[in-house]
Amino acid sequence: MAKMEHQSSPTPHVLIFPLPVQGHVTPMLHLAELLCLAHLQVTFLNTNHNHQLLTQNTNIEARFSRYLGFTFKTIPDDWPPQNRPRPQASNVNIMKILKAMVEGMAPRAEPLIRELLFGTTETDKVTCFIIDGWLSFAYDLAKEAEVPVIAFRCSSACGNWSYFCIPQLIEAGEVPFKENEEMDRIVCNVLGMESFLRYRDLPSFCRGKDKSSCDDLRQYFMREVQQTKQAQFLILNTFEDLEGPILSQIRSQCSQVYPIGPLHAHLKYRLGKEETPLSNNSSSSLWEVDKSCTSWLDLKPDKSVIYVSFGSTTTFTADQLMELWAGLVQSKKYFLWVVRPNIIASSLDGPIPEDLLEGTKKRGYKVKWAPQDEVLAHRAIGGFLTHSGWNSTLESIIAGVPMLCWPYFSDQQVNSRFVSQVWGIGLDMKDTCDRSIVEKMINEVMDEKKEELCRSMDNISQAAKRSIAEGGSSYSNLNHLIDEIQAMSKKGGLKSSSSHQ
Ligand code: UDP
């Protein structure tokens, strides 16, 4: 690991700013800790509300208190959770929700970010700003303060590359497209995916657009791509052996791309390598974790349980929930199911059928929030029914558990296509939610197709572990990135720092 070379040069001070949602806070906290291990000074921005949840539900304060150069700063957040825009159905307009979230946060975050970027003393001064890809107002502030920016995009490389291609998909007339009629046609304008990406695999927000919302989408992504290209570096939570060809496509537009993932496993590896290995409790859950499910798993045979979780944001209609539930029960497999209290948009109609209650009592276990990493690593887990969120996908890869994908929005549609068609480590159930299909596909993942899926998964899982171990690509990329961050601080800002574009 890179160490500070010259005590006389300014300490690199990295400001990290995630989108305030679980799937972004978690990997950015992992990155923050990795930078702390390299003795960089790190300031991490949370919203007040998220910080309270983290403090309540994890050991976050103790975990970071051992790093002298680490500080949490919180953004005033007088935005009660119940008033925040949340997805409410599977055809959710995620772009609208994101826009509302970012616009609501910007005026509250700006004064603090300005204070940090224009820092009064040399020791306080932020020398590099790592910004979540969705927070464009922060890019503008960094530019004004002439602080170098590193873009961090939490999605897969394949998801990000499909975002990059949205402007040209619109220009070529491939987006918008008619849902139902053309969903299985192959998309021509996402380079590197021309042989297998169907319209239904494009990011959810390409669906059902009219002309004016297409213009908004095009503008939005043109700006995104521009900002990412202008950043000094781009960090991705992935690894070369998994997404090499797509990383090459991204590199054709952004010259300095650092795939350093899977970050959760990378952090674990580096913590274990410390002279006195540091404790490895790196939970970043915004929810209270129910650990009782691990005792339930302990009583089950090897690879006999399907773990069912749809991340932090997915919501179901009452009908979808009932189909899924019936499919789980009909599969006759043991299931561990994360049912967040806010997982359905409306209440269930009428009484729950007796056979569902009975089947759940016999073979099921429900929790509001699971220790997912621990669950996936448990010997009793044989499959993962997932929404294909990128963190969940990487966690499944590291644990070597084949997936059944029911993608919900954004990059998840692309991820599930790669899982099933490119990597062969799972099956894709997208655009269906029917009890007999759920039943059939659970049985395929857990029995009929188990061997072939496990074979591919073993290879990819081993490659993931090699990438984060000493000498592996993600390990070396991170060392190189740390060296670059140190070099940036010596050059003292954007004016004098060399551009990599
Ligand atoms: N997660 C968890 N317990 C649960 C469900 C999810 O710890 O019961 C974690 C999961 O391990 C992952 C994150 O929440 O790190 C979800 O991120 P992902 O990118 O998969 O999906 P998102 O929530 O962003 O849709």
Whether residue 423 sits in one domain with residue 339 = yes
Indicate whether 210 and 326 sit together in one domain.
no
392 CA to middle of ligand 1, Å? Answer: 6
Check 30, 49, 51, 132 and give the catalytic one. 132
CATH of the domain at 363: 3.40.50.2000
Residues 207 and 316 in one domain: no
DSSP state of 423: S
**Ligand 1 atom, smallest distance to 367 CA:** 8
pLDDT at 490: 81
Same domain assignment for residues 309 and 404: yes
Task: Report the candidate in 110, 116, 127 with the shortest Cα–Cα distance to residue 40.
Answer: 127
Co-location of 27 and 129 in the same domain: yes
Measure 155 CA to ligand 1 centroid, in angstroms. Answer: 13
497, pLDDT greater than 70:
no
Closest ligand 1 atom, residue 27 Cα: 15
Max alpha carbon distance in the chain (Å)? 72
- Indicate the top mutation candidate among 284, 315, 372, 413 to test ligand 1's pocket, ranked by most ligand atoms within 8 A of CB: 372
Counting from 1 in the atom list of ligand 1, the atom nearest the Cα of 285 is: 7
Residue 13 known to be catalytic: no
| Catalytic residue selected from 24, 30, 51, 264 | 24
Distance of alpha carbon 44 from alpha carbon 21, whole angstroms: 14
Shared domain check, 298 and 364 = yes
Per-residue pLDDT at 360 exceeds 90: yes
Looking at the fold, whether 359 and 219 belong to one and the same domain comes out as no
Quote the pLDDT of residue 92: 55
**pLDDT-based confidence at residue 89 (cuts at 50, 70, 90):** very low
Which of 60-69, 90-99, 488-497 reaches the highest mean pLDDT? 60-69
Give me the chain's average pLDDT, please.
90
Give the closest residue (by CA) to ligand 1 atom 15.
Answer: 391
Calculate mean pLDDT across residues 330-358.
91
Cα 47 to middle of ligand 1, angstroms: 19
Does 208 score more than 90 pLDDT?
A: no
Residue 181 per-residue DSSP state: T
Is residue 366 pLDDT above 70, yes or no? yes
Q: Is 461 within the bounds of a domain?
A: no
Q: How confident is the model at residue 96 (pLDDT cuts 50, 70, 90)?
A: confident
Domains of the chain: total: 3
Q: Is 318 in the same domain as 400?
A: yes
Give Cα separations from 30 to 256, 367, 453, 457 (angstroms): 21, 25, 29, 24
With a pLDDT cut of 70, the percent of the chain lying above it is: 91
Q: Which domain holds residue 392?
A: 292-370+377-448
| Same-domain pairing of 67 and 135 | yes
Report pLDDT for 84: 57
Residue 24 C-alpha to ligand 1 middle, in angstroms? Answer: 10
- 237 and 209 within one domain: no
**Taking the model in full, what pTM does it have?**
0.94
Position 175 in a domain? yes
Q: Which of 224, 254, 277 is the last residue of a domain?
A: 224
Query: Which residue among 50, 391, 411 is best mutated to probe the pocket of ligand 1, counting the most ligand atoms within 8 A of its Cβ?
Result: 391
Lowest mean pLDDT among 54-58, 181-185, 236-240, 431-435: 181-185
3-state per-residue secondary structure call for 237-285: CCCHHHHHHHHHHHHCCCCCEEECCCHHHHHHHHHHHCCCCCCCCCCCC
* Residues 147, 169 within the same domain: no
Ligand 1 mutation target, pool 29, 267, 283, 312, most atoms within 8 A of CB: 312
pLDDT digits (tens, 9 = 90+) for 296-326: 999 999 999 999 999 999 989 999 999 999 9
**Count of Cβ atoms closer than 10 Å to residue 356 Cβ:** 16
Q: Which of 68, 88, 89, 73 is nearest to 20 (CA)?
A: 73
CA of residue 350 to ligand 1 center, whole Å: 30
Q: Residues 314, 439: one domain? A: yes
Whether residue 84 is contained in a domain is answered as no
Mean pLDDT throughout 343-350? 80
pLDDT of residue 93: 67
Three-state DSSP at 296 gives helix
Give the domain-ending residue among 176, 196, 224.
224
Active site residue 24: yes
In this predicted model, what pLDDT tens digit does every residue of 147-178 receive, in sequence order?
Answer: 999 999 999 999 999 999 999 999 998 988 88
Using one digit for the tens of pLDDT, what is the confidence trace for 228-243?
999 999 999 999 999 9
Protein residues with CB under 6 Å of any ligand 1 atom? 22-23, 26, 285, 309, 311-313, 338, 369-370, 372-373, 389-392, 395
Q: 450-468 and 390-399 are packed helices; what angle lies between their axes, rounded to 10 degrees?
A: 100
Among the atoms of ligand 1, which is closest to the Cα of residue 412?
25
- Check residues 398 and 344 and name the one with the higher pLDDT: 398
Confidence at 104, pLDDT banded by 50, 70, 90: confident
- Rg (C-alpha) for the chain, rounded Å, is 22
Mean pLDDT of 343-351: 81
86 CA distance to ligand 1 middle (Å): 16
